[in-house]
Structure 1
């Protein structure tokens, strides 16, 4: 009887170790943002891990130059539940004035445990430069531009 229990325990341990859960290190886009450019964060994962939609989630908070994004998702330790294809999720986190920033990307999940678990997927430092992106004006006061405006009006 003891051999059976030991074999069952060993099989369970090996089975859990075979589960392939992963999230790659998050990244920001653009890599060197300007003051008026929207900044996004990308996260790639799969296997036993996934980011999912849930009411109230994708929480972006900022205190000073520290930004935090809390994603909702799933994490499983058992191979039977590892059904997620590798996927990349990209979410906009905002536009920021010039300065040095730290972005913490976290995942909250409640998969088979008594209380939610918050896991840090990555902490990224980035700099927003003081230049701004200006929309280019279309000249309408040239002879050609005035002609087009007259025809269209």
Structure 2
């Protein structure tokens, strides 16, 4: 395994708050080591699996629907927590991260380390603008993801 670190911002910037994943990836461009892979995905499982192929650490940034909604609330999830939440329609995409993880498990393609950073969303309707609550959460979410990247590199250096 290469020790490769991949950050995937899942979402569609043309669907309001669903653009938070791509927004975090853009905000990280000058904050992470150059060899960090920064990617944006629509969340389709086969494309996600290809993006994290041969990665040691995968960090997924996702919009999350909850009931009752608390727009702007940040969550850091383990793979098990993300899969558990995915049993209900929590993702803003047709296929959720849980579907992707189930496929990865079946194909023996789960990365050794996977963390999901998510923010609860208010509006995923058509439009490029993040809601005020989600826009306000962007710096904190970006900081969490940057910290996960740093931890991944520190862990990769360990004997």
Q: Which TM class, normalised by the smaller chain length?
A: under 0.3
Higher RCO, 1 or 2 (CA under 8 Å, sep at least 6)?
Answer: 2
Q: What TM-score do the two structures reach when normalised by structure 2?
A: 0.26
Q: Report the structure, 1 or 2, having the larger strand content.
A: 1
Q: Report the structure, 1 or 2, having the larger helix content.
A: 2
Q: What TM-score do the two structures reach when normalised by structure 1?
A: 0.27
